[in-house]
Amino acid sequence: MAVRSRPVSLEGVPVGLTPVSALPGVGPALAESLARIGLERVQDLWFHLPLRYEDRTQITPIDVLRPGDRAQVRGVVEAVERGFRYRPQLKVAISDESHQTLTLRFFHFHRAQADQLKPGVSLLVYGEARYASNGLEMIHPQYTRIADDDEPALEDRLTPVYPTTEGLGQKRIAGVVGKALALLPGDDVLELIPASLAARHGLSSLREALLYVHRPPADAHLGELTLGRHASQQRLAFEELLTQHLSLKRLRAAVKRRHSPPLGGDGQLRQRFLDQLPFALTGAQRRVSGDVAADIGRAHPMLRLVQGDVGSGKTAVAALAALAAVEAGYQVALMAPTELLAEQHLRNFRHWLAPLGIEVEWLAGKVTGKARQQALNRVAAGAPVVVGTHALMQEGVAFNKLGLVIVDEQHRFGVQQRLELRDKGKEGDRVPHQLVLTATPIPRTLAMSAYADLDVSSIDELPPGRTPVQTIAISNARRGEVIERIHAACLEGRQVYWVCTLIEESEQLRAQAAEVAHAELSAALSDCAVGLVHGRMKPKEKQQVMDAFKAGELSVLVATTVIEVGVDVPNASLMVIENCERLGLAQLHQLRGRVGRGSVASSCVLLYQPPLGQLARERLQVMRDTNDGFRIAEKDLELRGPGEVLGTRQTGQLAFRIADLSRDAHLLPAVQHVGEVMLSEHPRQAEALIERWIGGAARFAHA
187 close to 205: Cβ distance less than 8 angstroms = yes
Indicate which of ligand ADP, Mg ion, none lies near residue 596 (CB less than 5 to 8 Å, by partner kind): none
Which residue, 432 or 593, is less far from ligand ADP as judged by CB?
593
User: Residue 50 in contact with residue 161, Cβ under 8 Å?
Assistant: yes
Judged by CB under 6 A, which stretch of 129-137, 313-321, 397-405, 624-632 contacts ligand ADP? Answer: 313-321
Residue 539 interacts with which of ligand ADP, Mg ion, none, CB < 5 to 8 Å by class: none
Q: Pick one of 308, 425, 596, 629: the residue that binds ligand ADP (CB under 6 A).
A: 308
Asked whether 264 and 323 are in contact (CB, 8 A), the reply is no
Residues 558-617 that bind ligand ADP (CB under 6 A): 568
The DSSP letter of residue 58 is S
30 binds, among Mg ion, ligand ADP, none (CB under 5 to 8 A by kind): none
Binding part of the chain for Mg ion, among 231-239, 371-379, 562-570, 657-665 by CB under 5 A, reads 562-570
- Picked from Mg ion, ligand ADP, none, the partner binding residue 310 (CB below 5 to 8 A depending on kind) is ligand ADP
The nearest distance, CB 555 to ligand ADP, in angstroms, is 22
| Length reported for the chain | 703
Query: Could you say whether residue 566 binds Mg ion (CB under 5 A)?
Result: yes
> Is 389 a residue that touches ligand ADP (CB under 6 A)?
no
Instruction: Determine, following the binding rule CB under 5 A, whether residue 629 of this chain makes contact with Mg ion.
Output: no
Provide, rounded to whole angstroms, the least separation between the CB of residue 312 and ligand ADP. 4
Question: Quick one: which of 79, 49, 51, 54 has its CA closest to 69?
Answer: 54
Distance (Å, whole) CA 589 – CA 203: 40
CA distance linking residue 358 with residue 383, whole number of Å: 9
* Distance from C-alpha of 632 to C-alpha of 177, rounded to nearest angstrom: 41
Residue nearest Mg ion by beta-carbon distance: 566
Read off the amino acid at residue 617. R
The residue (of 184 and 572) whose beta carbon lies closer to Mg ion is 572
Q: ∠11-16-22 over CA atoms, to 5°?
A: 65
Binder of residue 463, out of ligand ADP, Mg ion, none (CB less than 5 to 8 A by kind): ligand ADP
Residue 244 is a binding residue for ligand ADP (CB under 6 A): no
In the DSSP assignment, the letter for residue 171 is H
> Which residues within the stretch 341-380 sit at the binding site for Mg ion (CB under 5 A)?
none
Determine the interface stretch with ligand ADP among 148-156, 281-289, 645-653, 668-676 (rule: CB under 6 A): 281-289
Contact 433, 298 (CB under 8 A): no
Q: How far is CA 138 from CA 146, 303, 522, 548, 607, in A?
A: 19, 53, 49, 57, 36
Minimum distance from CB of 313 to ligand ADP (Å)?
3
CB closer to Mg ion, 233 vs 590: 590
Interacting positions 248-267 with ligand ADP (CB under 6 A): none
CA distance 15 to 42: 7
- Cβ contacts of residue 465 below 8 Å, gap of 6+? 599
The count of chain residues that interact with ligand ADP, using the rule CB under 6 A, is: 15
| Spatial distance between the Cα atoms of 674 and 693, rounded to a whole number of angstroms | 16
Q: Please state, in angstroms and rounded to a whole number, the distance separating the CA atoms of residues 144 and 125.
A: 7
Residue 335's Cβ-side half-sphere holds a number of Cα atoms within 13 Å equal to 23
CB nearer to ligand ADP: pick between 297 and 463: 463
**Is the Cβ of residue 19 or residue 463 nearer to ligand ADP in the bound state?**
463
Among 103, 232, 260, 312, binds ligand ADP (CB under 6 A): 312
**CA–CA separation, 240 and 250 (whole Å):** 15
CB of 602 to ligand ADP, least distance (A): 14
Is 313 a binding residue for Mg ion by CB under 5 A? The answer is no
Distance from C-alpha of 508 to C-alpha of 514, rounded to nearest angstrom: 10
Q: Does 337 bind ligand ADP (CB under 6 A)?
A: no
Shorter beta-carbon distance to ligand ADP: residue 50 or 566: 566
CB of 343 to Mg ion, least distance (A): 12
- What does the alpha-carbon distance between residue 295 and residue 297 come to, in Å, rounded to a whole number? 5
Q: Which CB, 288 or 376, lies closer to ligand ADP? A: 288
Which entry of Mg ion, ligand ADP, none binds 14, CB below 5 to 8 A by partner kind?
none
Among the listed ranges 229-237, 287-295, 307-315, 473-481, the one in contact with ligand ADP (CB under 6 A) is 307-315
Contact (Cβ atoms closer than 8 angstroms) between residue 359 and residue 383: yes
33/590 with CB nearer ligand ADP: 590
What's the rounded Cα separation, in Å, for the pair 130 and 75? 17
Instruction: Establish if 282 lies at the interface with ligand ADP (CB under 6 A).
Output: yes
Least gap, CB of 595 to ligand ADP (angstroms): 13
- CB-based burial of residue 375 (10 Å sphere; 0-12 exposed, 13-18 middle, 19+ buried)? buried
Site string for ligand ADP, 463-492 (x = CB under 6 A): x-----------------------------
CA atoms within 13 A on the CB side of 537: 22
- State the nearest-atom distance from the C-beta of 326 to ligand ADP, in Å: 19
Q: Binding to ligand ADP by residue 285, rule CB under 6 A?
A: yes
Name the residue whose CB lies closest to ligand ADP.
313
Minimum gap (Å) between residue 319 Cβ and ligand ADP: 9
Closest CA to 118 of 85, 89, 80, 148: 80
Nearer to ligand ADP, 159 or 458 (CB): 458
Least distance (Å) between residue 565 CB and Mg ion: 8
Of 220-228, 276-284, 473-481, 522-530, which segment contacts ligand ADP by CB under 6 A?
Answer: 276-284
Three-state DSSP at 478 gives helix
Closer residue to Mg ion (CB): 141 or 566: 566
Binding ligand ADP (rule: CB under 6 A), the pick from 105, 207, 314, 411 is: 314
The rounded distance, in Å, linking the Cα atoms of 144 and 123 is 6
243 within 8 A of 689, measured Cβ to Cβ: yes
Q: Determine, following the binding rule CB under 6 A, whether residue 316 of this chain makes contact with ligand ADP.
A: yes
- Residue choice 94, 310, 360, 364 for contact with ligand ADP (CB under 6 A): 310
Q: How far is CA 500 from CA 275, 494, 606, in A?
A: 42, 20, 11
Q: How far is the CB of 313 from Mg ion (least distance, A)?
A: 9
Question: Segment 448-467, which members bind ligand ADP (CB under 6 A)?
Answer: 463
Contacts of Mg ion in 682-701 (CB under 5 A)? none
The span from the CA of 682 to the CA of 196, in Å, is 12
Dihedrals φ, ψ of 508, to 5°?
A: -65, -45
Alpha helices in 148-221 (DSSP H): 170-181, 187-190, 195-200, 206-214
Q: Which is nearer to ligand ADP, 20 or 563 (CB)?
A: 563
The answer to whether 333 and 393 have CB atoms below 8 angstroms apart is yes
**Which residues contact residue 203 at a Cβ distance below 8 angstroms, ignoring those fewer than 6 apart?**
193, 197, 235, 238
Sign of torsion over alpha carbons 119, 125, 127, 129: positive
Q: Is 313 in the site for ligand ADP (CB under 6 A)?
A: yes
Least distance between Mg ion and beta carbon 517 (Å): 26
Q: Smallest distance from the beta carbon of 306 to ligand ADP, in angstroms?
A: 9
Binding site for ligand ADP (CB under 6 A): 279, 281-282, 285, 308, 310-316, 439, 463, 568
Q: Which chain residues interact with Mg ion by CB under 5 A?
A: 566
